[in-house]
Structure 1
Amino acid sequence: MTRVVAWARGFAPTVVALGVALLVTALFILIIGENPLAALRALFDFGESPTAQANSLGVWINRAAPLFLSGLAVSVGFRMGLFNIGVEGQYRIATVIAAGVGAAIVAPAPLHVLVIILVAMLAGAAYAAIPAVLKVTRGVSEVISTIMLNSIAIGIAAYLIRRPFADPDLGEGENTTTRDLPESGRIPGINDLFGLLGLEEPRRPVYGFVFIAILVGIVMAVVLSRTRFGFELRTSGLNPSAATANGVSASSMTIKAMVLSGALAGLVGLPELLGESFRFSGESFVAGYGFTGIAVALLGRNRPLGIAGAALLFSFLDRAGPRLQSEGIPPAAVVIMQGIIVLCVVIVDEIGRRRLLRAEERRARVEDPQTVTEEVAS
């Protein structure tokens, strides 16, 4: 019972922030001259026909999987007190290398997919190790280095799809994609599950990688809360001095945290690569998951379960964008709503932290007034 109460108190600020964000968004919609109730109906409108509803559910699931993985990647850095803004570049590099290697090898179906996943994780980890080493050896802020590496990743990916990983079947001026992955390197969609649930099947494939994302979330939940590594990671983030005094190397933990964050970031682009596109193209590559993952991690309070809920919320809002536009509400309203939600969470968390601090100070005065008097006098 105590654990349930603690869990409820932990997520209460998020619930309050969501309510405040909804009110602020309604006010914004009123200011631009639209009806907030119409916007609310559009948010929960999945379509009139069964096929349209199935398509909306499929888009919701497909969008949530990479957002969840991106939020997990960012949260590992946050727990260590690191701000890994480089998830965007890390998953871009990982996706293009995984696509190129996956198209170049031949292997049985399960092994082929496993190799692609491992290559993506290794590529993301290697790219994330660069800012980690710079921070440990030269004191370079990971914020600055990861921002710069995001821009560099765009150039590297463009080179890779035009030179070593280019599809030779395309013309000289058309080499902007990698070769297609063979059938053994693809993950089947889960559209059949809709039929088992009595729903229409979506027209686009629903990524089967979502089950791998769930498995990754479970593993990370265990690692972060039940292992020595997770304990040292939390300790180093909360109190580096105490962690060092207990024999935990801050430099080592910085590198480990960034490498693990990069490895998780390497998975972000795989749901689409293995489930639908089967190739990397600079034109069709979906960017932005890395930056949105920061908001998802903040909203989920750096906990896998909370991140899953935040990813579902953000993907739900993204899915409603076209429907909002049909009601005369600009698509930017979705982005504004997401920003307001994160801002409200930060504000409510800070208010809660200060109230808790004042309550502890009052409790200390009641329990030991003499000590408090001496501290004030000194």
Structure 2
Amino acid sequence: MKLNMDTVRRVGLSLAAPLLAIVLSLIITSVVLSISGNDPFSTFQKMIEYAQEPRTTALIINSAVTYYFAALAVSFGFRMNLFNIGVDGQYRLAALLAAAVGGAVELPAVLHVGLILVVAMLVGGLWAAVAGLLKVYRGISEVISTIMLNSITTALIAYLLTTDKLAVQAEGSNNIGTKEIAPSGRVGGLPLVPDSQLKIYGLIVLAAIVGFLYWFVIERSRFGFDLRATGRNEEAAVASGVNVKRMVLISMAISGGIAGLVGMPQLLGSSYTYSLDFPTGLGFTGIAIALLGRNTALGVAIGSLLWGFLDNSSQILDLEGVPKEIVMITQGVIVLSVVIAYELVRRYRLVAQQREVGRRLSEARPENEPQGAQA
């Protein structure tokens, strides 16, 4: 029973921070809605009702799949105490080159899709490894290097995405993009309702696999133990024989490899080409979701669904005369609140542990020490 209570307490403390952040964001959003002359309860009800429509539900899930890859990429770095801000650049460059390769070949379906995914992961991993090399051999913070690499990525994509290099002119449009991927390189969707035009990305299966592998590597492997140990106390990890430089390089490369998958649901399940209007900024959304999900596979999945719900259900607000930008306030407050909430929970846990140690020492003293031995 004691073990069960300890488990319940530990799980409760783990859930306390994100729940507190969400509740606080809802309160602040409600205040803003009230000040602007809108009924908070009616607004939230309309968002929930709109989210229950099959088309909106599919959009929420599709957004969550994309966010999940981005948040896992960030989370992997966080577990090593590495701040990979370059996920945004890594996935965009990976998507561009993977789309170019995918559009240039025609292979059997499994090989074609596999080739595109491998290219995306390799490009993302190698691009992130540049920041790892700079940190290991030149001591440059990965925060600075990944921010700079994001800028380089933007310029590099602008250079490559031209009609005399990797792009072609889209028919009947001023848009340009890579050559469209053949049907053998596409991943079919899962219909939420029969005969529905909008389908759930088929790569939701890959997202589940990557999430499981993330959990297994981090929580159940020797590499994951070394990674977590290095992230918590680098000096202690070195003393125990961990090669920190090697861990930094591998961790950044794996984080970038996961980042390379961020654009794949859109590329293989919807657009089939990388064009000027390909989604951007997903890496920064991943940072917020990783913080909210506390870098765990399950927590990140819940955070991704929440972000997908807020992004897509907000579309109904304009029709109801409510500025949909109110959702951006909610998301921003969640990010700010979750950092504060984690610190409060951490301090509470520390105080609780100190009290528990003191209680056990006081219980053990009469048995182990004779009366007056403290003198």
The TM-score normalised by the length of structure 1 is 0.89
| Paired position in structure 1 for 2:147 | 147
Return closer, same or farther for 1:30/1:216 CA change in 2, 3 Å cut-off. Answer: same
Return closer, same or farther for 1:27/1:169 CA change in 2, 3 Å cut-off. Answer: closer
> Aligned-pair RMSD on alpha carbons?
2.0
Are 1:166 and 1:175, in contact at CA under 8 Å, matched by a contact in 2? no
Write the distance in 2 (CA, Å) between the matches of 1:181 and 1:93: 17
Q: How does 1:1-378 map to 2 (within 5 A)?
A: 1=4, 3=7, 5-46=9-50, 53-162=53-162, 163-167=164-168, 176-191=176-191, 193-195=192-194, 201-282=195-276, 284-364=277-357
Q: CA deviation at 1:328?
A: 2.2
Unpaired segments of 5 or more residues in structure 1?
A: 196-200, 370-378
Return closer, same or farther for 1:316/1:170 CA change in 2, 3 Å cut-off. Answer: closer
Write the distance in 1 (CA, Å) between the matches of 2:24 and 2:175: 49
User: Matched residue of 2:257: which SS?
Assistant: helix
Are 2:211 and 2:297, in contact at CA under 8 Å, matched by a contact in 1? yes
Are 2:135 and 2:141, in contact at CA under 8 Å, matched by a contact in 1? yes
The TM-score normalised by the length of structure 2 is 0.90
Are 2:175 and 2:275, in contact at CA under 8 Å, matched by a contact in 1? no
Greater shift, 155-164 or 360-369, is seen at: 360-369
Greater shift, 102-111 or 91-100, is seen at: 102-111
Write the distance in 2 (CA, Å) between the matches of 1:175 and 1:299: 36
Q: CA deviation at 1:17?
A: 2.2
Return closer, same or farther for 1:42/1:166 CA change in 2, 3 Å cut-off. Answer: same
User: Matched residue of 2:178: which SS?
Assistant: coil
User: Matched residue of 1:115: which SS?
Assistant: helix
Q: CA deviation at 1:135?
A: 0.8
Q: CA deviation at 1:174?
A: 5.6
Q: CA deviation at 1:205?
A: 3.4
Q: CA deviation at 1:53?
A: 1.5
Write the distance in 1 (CA, Å) between the matches of 2:305 and 2:114: 26
Q: CA deviation at 1:359?
A: 3.1
Could you list the per-position Cα deviations for residues 308-351 of structure 1 after superposition, in whole angstroms to 9, with x for gaps in the alignment?
A: 00000000000112112222222221111011112222111111
State the identity as a percent: 43
Are 1:45 and 1:323, in contact at CA under 8 Å, matched by a contact in 2? no
Write the distance in 2 (CA, Å) between the matches of 1:71 and 1:118: 20
Write the distance in 2 (CA, Å) between the matches of 1:270 and 1:235: 32
The one-letter amino acid of 2:145's match is S
Q: CA deviation at 1:152?
A: 1.3
Could you list the per-position Cα deviations for residues 13-44 of structure 1 after superposition, in whole angstroms to 9, with x for gaps in the alignment?
A: 22222222211111111122221112111220
Are 1:108 and 1:184, in contact at CA under 8 Å, matched by a contact in 2? yes
Unpaired segments of 5 or more residues in structure 2?
A: 363-375
Q: CA deviation at 1:11?
A: 1.2
Q: CA deviation at 1:160?
A: 1.8
Return closer, same or farther for 1:114/1:366 CA change in 2, 3 Å cut-off. Answer: same
Q: CA deviation at 1:368?
A: 5.8
User: Matched residue of 1:181: which SS?
Assistant: coil
User: Matched residue of 1:45: which SS?
Assistant: helix
User: Matched residue of 1:337: which SS?
Assistant: helix
The one-letter amino acid of 1:272's match is Q
Return closer, same or farther for 1:170/1:79 CA change in 2, 3 Å cut-off. Answer: same
Aligned pairs, how many? 357
Write the distance in 2 (CA, Å) between the matches of 1:202 and 1:61: 15
The one-letter amino acid of 2:227's match is L
Write the distance in 2 (CA, Å) between the matches of 1:61 and 1:124: 24
Write the distance in 1 (CA, Å) between the matches of 2:22 and 2:62: 23
Write the distance in 2 (CA, Å) between the matches of 1:61 and 1:366: 48
Return closer, same or farther for 1:111/1:3 CA change in 2, 3 Å cut-off. Answer: farther
